[in-house]
Structure 1
Amino acid sequence: MPEKTLKLDATQEGLLQAAHILRSGGLVAIPTETVYGLAGDARNDTAVARIFEAKGRPHFNPLIVHVSDLAMARKLAVFDAMAEAVAAAFWPGALTLVLPLRPDAGLSPLVTAGLQSVAIRMPDHAVAHHLLQTFGGPLAAPSANPSGRVSPTKAIHVERGLGGRIDAILEGGDCQVGLESTILGLDGPPVLLRPGGIPLEALEAMLGPIGHGGNAAKPNAPGQLASHYAPEAGVRLGVTQPDPGEIWVGFGPGCTGAQISLSANGDLVEAAANLFQSLLDADKLAGPDGRIGYAPIPEIGLGRAINDRLRRAAAPRPQTI
């Protein structure tokens, strides 16, 4: 475990230092347009094992591999005509594709949890892109937070959750999307494995109706565990009238009594960007024995991804002994 976590600016010097740490098997939290990711060399067994250790993440839960360009992605996974078309339409961006793993990909088996598929994304963030180019290889990068807790959209969130457990944090400002990537399985018929920053409607406009999949007991992509994104306080959903003492997080103009608002005018893009910060702020107000109530969010567009995260935040927590 590192003695302290370095803070690196997104300068050429900072990028070179981050790349050096990664080549040495270290861990660097990096900004993306979705959330901050905890990056390690996806080809280095020790580095990937350190990601799981730092996060306290179950080893059966696969990781997303981040790439700088399509050429790098093609060395890791098999792209058929459909995958090529989807990548051309949505990359770089908040979309992860689960594709057949190439036998000679050279990835640590810990990245794929031993599966014959791999989750790949090309982030749409200048700092992440420049780091990937400087590093010159694929980076495994789940969200940079303790496993099961609220995902980080600011560098300070990473520091609070993982400070002293990772080597460095590369500062890149606030994440603009604020929700993790949509995960689309293309290792068979198209299937939505996790809603996220790319709305399902945008994918179906290109591909037609898309099925839904995912298995919390045996995930084939990240974000499928039943309990995830959890604050310390309990979470209740669909709240139009909060209970006494409950911290109410509103959405839309009808929630004038809410202590926190995802979006006062009902903008789903704004709500998505504010979601994880709202969980942190409400948790602080509620305290570990308190309760947070979220106003209803429409199940359309980005609302589908927001509701997915909130349902997981509200799910019963795994019991520890």
Structure 2
Amino acid sequence: MVAAAIFDDMTQGGCMNAALKWMPLVAALALAGCAREGYYDNRSVDYAKAEESEPLVLPDTRNTRRYRDSMPVPEVPGNFVSQGEDFDAPPPRPLNAGSGVSAGEVALREAGDQRWLVVGASPGVVWSELEDFVATRGLQVLSRNQQRGVIETAQGRIAVSSGLQPGESEVRCERGGMPEEGCLKAIERRFEQRSNLASATASGLATQGQMNQQRQPPRLEQQDGEWQLMVPFGLQRAWAELSAQLESDFAMQGRRELVEQDIASHTFLVDYLLLSERSRGFWSSMASLDFSENMTRVRLTLSRQADGQTLVRAHAADDGDLQDNDARELLERVGGLLR
């Protein structure tokens, strides 16, 4: 019927006008064939009715080395604490935060009368270098324990252990429990002259798995309503590494700044733009007519624990209490510097 009407109009000399006149009706009839129950077929929620299929079963004769998880979810230490609807993701850390020394480089760390080297290479690689160092120097070896990473010589004790950052090692030279400056400087010069520490040598790879390299990251805990950071390192190591990291990361004017550090009391004073200040809303600023962002002076205190770990607490420098979210976010950042 529609086609006949169009034909009649066309025979009356209005071919173009007739086609345009009837085109909307033809389009509507065509679309009606794609509709379901009078509406356009919307499949955006069809997934809710999908049924789970049986898992894929691979034959037992397959080569298991060729198969692995395509998107593995890494394990995260500690417990997630929900902040409710007001949760704000913490700001991303800069690329150099918590990175320690670069691969193949060496840096001196000190805390009080203790000194040691941090080397950007795995303990297995460093162990091979230390054995070669002892041999070329003609030191008299009394004993060596590769698993513990200790070489006892007539001139002193040389030890290597895992560093606080992944892929790092700590080297100590001691005599009578005190650091041997000449030995440390000689080893430091040797590592500075070596260009292949970034990649493990064959001997390094062979010994790397034989050395104790267990390492746990810092974890955030809440005890008696107070947030605190448990660092699985001794007090001197934690202090020295945190000092170096804060000097590097807390150097952004108006956001976070390292003001003072005191090794005698194991405290750091920092000026920090707290989470509550950064997330202050427009209407709160309007009510106070203050649109500026003000940093708060915070004292970070390190204390030795009975199990050999170090506890880090954060309090306002005027002995006031920080809000829970502010303390948690600041300690999260500090813990990130030691991962």
* Larger relative contact order (CA 8 Å, sep ≥ 6): 1
Rg (Cα) greater in structure: 2
TM-score by length of 2: 0.24
| Bigger share in strand | 2
